[in-house]
Amino acid sequence: MDIINKKINSYVEAHTDLEPEILNILNRETHLKILLPRMLSGHFQGRTLSMLSKMIKPKRILEIGTYTGYSAICLAEGLDKEGTLTTIDINEELEPFVRSFFEKAGVDDKIDYRIGNAVELIPSIDEEFDLVFIDADKKNNGTYYDLVFDKVKPGGYIFADNVLWSGKVTDETPDKDTRVIMLFNEKVQNDDRVENVLLPIRDGIMLIRKK
């Protein structure tokens, strides 16, 4: 995911608020104990998610793909006083680890953490969301987008992560996984129900606003 000049990236991080101490610990523990730590949002992207959430002040957030809980904690920082965040992940083995950090971060009472297949769980959620963050298995990005769209209120937001796919979206002969990302990006770009901006932050975040 090194798609931004390392010197620029270091400068950007040096001029971005530090992550809270509990997130710094979660960051370290994820890298020490959990497989595929590159899946973690990390300092810069985490502060970006936190800032965007604080700007939106959502009452209801849906996150698809919890991993170790870093992004959920960041997004929860911007919740309305009475707001809640529902986060879904299929990996039940991480549940004790994740719940412990939700508690340590003081957000366990605001987070509804569900284990299961998001494709199956989302249709059963009868709620309206101000913000949805899609960060799970990329082959289902388009499916998740379709499943949540009617659950997002007008003027609400969908964020989709990893839409630059380590820069491979610019390859002249993209592989199968990259084509999935490209098809999703085109799907959003051609959807006249939304406004969208693709931010080259870390591995790319697509910001989508429902009209």
Integer-rounded Cα Rg, in Å, for the chain is 16
Separation between Cα atoms, residue 203 and residue 41, nearest integer Å: 10
**pLDDT the model gives residue 15:** 97
**pLDDT the model gives residue 170:** 94
Residue ranges of domains in the chain, CATH in brackets? 6-210 (3.40.50.150)
Q: Residues 88, 121: contact at Cβ < 8 Å?
A: yes
**pLDDT the model gives residue 1:** 56
Amino acid letter for position 24: N
Q: Please name which of 175, 95, 99 lies closest in space to residue 138, comparing C-alpha atoms.
A: 175
Q: How many CB atoms lie within 10 A of CB 18?
A: 10
**pLDDT the model gives residue 9:** 87
Ordered per-residue pLDDT tens for the chain, 211 residues: 567 788 998 999 999 999 999 999 999 999 999 999 989 999 999 999 999 999 999 999 999 999 999 999 999 999 999 999 999 999 999 999 999 999 999 999 999 999 999 999 999 999 999 999 999 999 999 999 999 999 999 999 999 999 999 999 999 999 999 999 999 999 999 999 999 999 999 899 999 999 9
